[in-house]
Amino acid sequence: MVIRKSRAEIERMRRAGRVVAEVLDRIEAELQPGVSTAHLDAIAEAHIRASGGTPSFKGYPGINPRRPFPASVCISIDDEIVHGIPGERTIRAGQIVSVDAGAIVDGWHGDGARTFFVGEPSPAVAELIDLTREAMLAGIAAAVPGNHIEDISAAVEAVAARAGLGVIRQFVGHGIGTEMHEEPQIPNFRTGRPGRKLEAGLCLAIEPMFTLGGYDTVIKPDDWTVVTADGSMAAHFEHSIAVTDNGPEILTAP
């Protein structure tokens, strides 16, 4: 069931979204060679809790019921697409670092992600990161009343197609509200079906995941980290947004 949110509920989601944006800002500021991913996670958790929120990823159930997600943010490096687990691993120059953060504030969720590069990226990697962000913004721009889910998917996919980037199919965007993952699903590629018609009050997490290779994925033995099957580099951007009669509103903006 797709749940439409009232204006007051959207404003409450904006509070959770702001915490997510602040977490990503703080991690970006700390990101440098030698910093441990556990340290970045600790900063994120402390900020979420100091803001009166709860980290929504911590304890989230995965494919292995004995291994819920153990951290507050996902940190995915190079060929890791999403769901990387922070830990002892340290950041090195020349790495692509994708950070996904989620917070619950007063029962409402925010979910957002950004991809950073530590140092100077190659032209191909710079284009991968730039176009993944651009595709997210193109998808957001298509999130207007009267359009359908397929219009978001097509807008995202068209940006990837310009540079022949791989579009991950296994993981998709989603509705968001009092649950992190609500209906509808939002593929980052055209499915040939219009999907739900968009109306004011729909809150959506739009999150393209692109690669420099193909779209096949593998889950590592930690039961969480999703990597490209071909070892190609990956990028991920995500905003939570609200569809409104005045156009899309980004909820995970600072």
Of residues 172 and 233, the one with the C-beta less far from Mg ion: 172
Alpha carbon distance 112, 119 (integer Å): 23
Instruction: Please name the residues in contact with 66: beta carbons below 8 A apart, sequence gap of 6 or more.
Output: none
Least gap, CB of 124 to Mg ion (angstroms): 26
Contact with Mg ion (CB under 5 A) among 40, 135, 202, 205:
205
Alpha carbon distance 144, 134 (integer Å): 17
Of residues 86 and 112, the one with the C-beta less far from Mg ion: 112
182 binds Mg ion (CB under 5 A): no
Contact with Mg ion (CB under 5 A) among 9, 22, 45, 111:
111
Alpha carbon distance 207, 210 (integer Å): 10
Which stretch in 13-21, 37-45, 118-126, 200-208 sits in contact with Mg ion by CB under 5 A? 200-208
Euclidean distance between the first and final Cα of the chain, in Å?
30
SS3 107: coil
Of residues 92 and 169, the one with the C-beta less far from Mg ion: 169
Least gap, CB of 19 to Mg ion (angstroms): 15
Of the candidates 201, 207, 193, which has an alpha carbon nearest to the alpha carbon of residue 150? 193
157 binds Mg ion (CB under 5 A): no
Which stretches of the chain bind Mg ion, using CB under 5 A? 111, 205
